[in-house]
Amino acid sequence: MTSQHREPVTRDRIIDAALHIVDGQGLGRLTMRRLGDALEVEAMAIYHHLPRGKEELLDGLVAHVAVDPLSATAGGEWQDRLRGWAAGYRERLLEHSGVLPLLVTRRNPAALDGTTASVQEVLGRAGLREETAATGAHTLMGYLIGHAALEARGRALSEAGGPGGAIDWDLRFTGGLDVVLAGLAQS
Amino acid sequence: MTSQHREPVTRDRIIDAALHIVDGQGLGRLTMRRLGDALEVEAMAIYHHLPRGKEELLDGLVAHVAVDPLSATAGGEWQDRLRGWAAGYRERLLEHSGVLPLLVTRRNPAALDGTTASVQEVLGRAGLREETAATGAHTLMGYLIGHAALEARGRALSEAGGPGGAIDWDLRFTGGLDVVLAGLAQS
DNA sequence: ACCTGAACACCGTTCAAGT
DNA sequence: ACCTGAACACCGTTCAAGT
């Protein structure tokens, strides 16, 4: 805290600063040079903490938005547990909607596949047979990511003065989620 | 066809060449200079046909993969019509999986929103009330895009020697689609 | 109308050098 | 160990100029 020394540059501070840039200015404006500026350091210093460079930086952003359903608040029916997890995940994705395109890329497989496996385990514990649980996990993850993408686009467009300002996205999301859960309970 | 003149550069040829680069080398390697090379022209010539530059180019790619459910082969139950449309859309998305991240961005709203509206119309004609049809359209579009993203990632990873080579993606996709359709029919 | 050449303000990354 | 300066091979885009 002595004012003559700046905060040490750490992996966590780098990811945080990068997320801040993406949230405020968009993914396209996240450059190593700008990130260095935000950390009050030359861009080249970042490579000392992230040897794989920008690739590793983007992997870190993806990992940061992931939410695991097993660690989400437990209790209640499996439908309600998944509803709680989905609500949290959706919130996170919209808060950092700039990273959404990164989820769609091959990037950081562990983050997405780990979450999918956890969803499958929740469904398995609920009594669904393995193949149904696997399909259900993919369906839920697909819906979650896809709907978040549509919602992020829709919200940004209506903010920019486009049509569709009348859409109640909360209702749309929970409504669609209920459709998927109803279909799942029945299979 | 006189061999001394090369093919004239048109908007369509530019989009085609760009799609070819994205499919073969990935979105990250689509540059104006490389695109110019493919067309046997200087990169700057492209701006004459696409005044908005790379932005307009990427918009064109998104529009190219869109499939409208109203123009898809008609006939039969609405579920079967949507199944046919979804199968076609999925195929297109996987064929050009490099453009998937572009769908997630704000880019070319007309392409995605138009498709969503068409899905809603199909559901509306099928007798669902308006709010249910709207939710259903978003749910289906969300599932389609999200699942395609997961599938593209999954296929690429297992090709690269990762785990999960045992997943039957066709079965996963139709299974998940049936879950959504079953939930919809019941709402 | 259609294309080129040169230029501008950027990128990510490497590498030797400093402390 | 941690950071910097200079350099390299790229980007997208503008603009005047050619035909």
Asked whether the beta carbons of residue B143 and residue A100 sit closer than 8 angstroms, the reply is no
Average pLDDT of the residues in B59-69: 93
Chain B environment of A147 (Cβ under 8 Å): 138-139, 142, 146
What is the distance in angstroms measured between the alpha-carbon CA of B44 and the sugar C1' of D13?
A: 9
Per the structure block, which two tokens stand in for A29? Answer: 């404006």
Total-model pTM: 0.93
Instruction: Let me know how long chain A is.
Output: 187
Q: What is the dihedral of CA B31, B34, B38, B39, to 10 degrees?
A: 70
Tell whether the model's pLDDT for residue B172 goes beyond 70.
Answer: yes
Q: Which of A103, A157, A179 sits opposite B184 (nearest CB)?
A: A179
Helix axes B11-25, B53-65, angle to 10 degrees: 80
Query: In a mutagenesis test of the B interface, which of A55, A104, A108, A147 is the best target, namely the one with the most B β-carbons within 10 Å?
Result: A104
pLDDT at B110: 86
Asked whether the beta carbons of residue B179 and residue A183 sit closer than 8 angstroms, the reply is yes
Q: Does A1 reside within a domain?
A: no
Tell whether the model's pLDDT for residue A36 goes beyond 50.
Answer: yes
**Residue pLDDT, tens place only, A83-93:** 999 999 999 99
Q: Does A148 reside within a domain?
A: yes
Asked if residue A51 and residue A114 are part of one domain, the reply reads no
Q: Does A6 reside within a domain?
A: no
What is the distance in angstroms measured between the alpha-carbon CA of A5 and the sugar C1' of D6?
A: 26
On chain C, which bases lie within 7 A of the protein's CB atoms?
Answer: 2-6, 10-16
Asked if residue B75 and residue B43 are part of one domain, the reply reads no
What is the distance in angstroms measured between the alpha-carbon CA of A114 and the sugar C1' of D7?
A: 42
Helix H, strand E, coil C: the string for A7-76 is CCCCHHHHHHHHHHHHHHHCHHHCCHHHHHHHCCCCHHHHHHHCCCCHHHHHHHHHHHHCCCCCCCCCCC
DSSP codes joined into one string, B133-164: HHHHHHHHHHHHHHHHHHHHHHHHHHHTT-S-
Q: Does B2 reside within a domain?
A: no
Average pLDDT of the residues in B27-54: 98
Q: Does A5 reside within a domain?
A: no
Asked whether the beta carbons of residue A142 and residue B142 sit closer than 8 angstroms, the reply is yes
CATH assignment of the domain containing B38: 1.10.10.60
Asked if residue B166 and residue B134 are part of one domain, the reply reads yes
Name the E strands within A84-183: none
Tell whether the model's pLDDT for residue A81 goes beyond 70.
Answer: yes
Query: In a mutagenesis test of the A interface, which of B138, B171, B186 is the best target, namely the one with the most A β-carbons within 10 Å?
Result: B138
Tell whether the model's pLDDT for residue B54 goes beyond 70.
Answer: yes
CATH assignment of the domain containing B86: 1.10.357.10
Tokens 């050009």 — which residue?
B96
Chain B environment of A148 (Cβ under 8 Å): 142
Asked if residue B24 and residue B73 are part of one domain, the reply reads no
Chain A environment of B178 (Cβ under 8 Å): 183, 187
- B71 pLDDT band, cuts 50/70/90, is confident
Q: Does B118 reside within a domain?
A: yes
The CA-atom distances, in angstroms, between A114 and each of A55, A181, B6, B63 are 20, 21, 51, 33
Domain boundary among B62, B78, B103: B62
- B163 pLDDT band, cuts 50/70/90, is low
Asked if residue B175 and residue B100 are part of one domain, the reply reads yes
Asked if residue A78 and residue A16 are part of one domain, the reply reads no
Selected residue with higher pLDDT from A184 and B6:
A184
Tell whether the model's pLDDT for residue B185 goes beyond 90.
Answer: yes
Q: What total number of domains does chain B contain?
A: 2
Task: Report which of B68, B63, B71 is spatially closest to residue B11, judged by C-alpha positions.
Answer: B63
Tell whether the model's pLDDT for residue B99 goes beyond 50.
Answer: yes
Q: Does A2 reside within a domain?
A: no
pLDDT at A48: 98
Q: Which domain holds residue B49?
A: 11-62
Average pLDDT of the residues in B7-25: 96
- A49 pLDDT band, cuts 50/70/90, is very high
Q: Which of B145, B178, B183 sits opposite A149 (nearest CB)?
A: B145
Tell whether the model's pLDDT for residue A38 goes beyond 60.
Answer: yes
- A95 pLDDT band, cuts 50/70/90, is very high
Which residue of chain A is at minimal alpha-carbon distance from B101? A101
Residues 6+ apart with CB under 8 A from A159: none
A37 Cα distance to chain centroid: 26
Selected residue with higher pLDDT from A187 and A100:
A100
pLDDT at B111: 87
Tell whether the model's pLDDT for residue A165 goes beyond 80.
Answer: no
Asked if residue B71 and residue B43 are part of one domain, the reply reads no
Domain boundary among A43, A62, A81: A62
How far, in Å, CA of A185 to CA of B3, rounded? 64
Closest nt to residue B7, judged CA to C1': C2
Asked whether the beta carbons of residue B176 and residue A138 sit closer than 8 angstroms, the reply is yes
How far, in Å, CA of A4 to CA of B96, rounded? 53
Domain boundary among B38, B62, B86: B62
* B126, containing H or E segment: none
What is the distance in angstroms measured between the alpha-carbon CA of A43 and the sugar C1' of D7?
A: 15
Asked if residue B110 and residue B49 are part of one domain, the reply reads no
Average pLDDT of the residues in B136-164: 90
Task: Report which of B18, B20, B23 is spatially closest to residue B55, judged by C-alpha positions.
Answer: B18
Q: Does A165 reside within a domain?
A: yes
Asked if residue B76 and residue B37 are part of one domain, the reply reads no
Asked if residue B165 and residue B81 are part of one domain, the reply reads yes
Residues of B (46-65) placing their beta carbon closer than 7 angstroms to any atom of strand D are 47, 53-55
Q: By percentage, how much of chain A surpasses pLDDT 90?
A: 80
Chain B environment of A153 (Cβ under 8 Å): 104-106, 109, 112
Asked if residue A87 and residue A39 are part of one domain, the reply reads no
What is the distance in angstroms measured between the alpha-carbon CA of B53 and the sugar C1' of D10?
A: 19
Q: Across the A/B interface, how many CB contacts are shorter than 8 Å?
A: 147
**Residue pLDDT, tens place only, A119-164:** 999 999 999 999 999 999 999 999 999 999 999 999 988 887 766 6
Asked if residue B145 and residue B128 are part of one domain, the reply reads yes
Tell me the backbone φ, ψ of residue A29, rounded to 5 degrees.
Answer: -100, 5
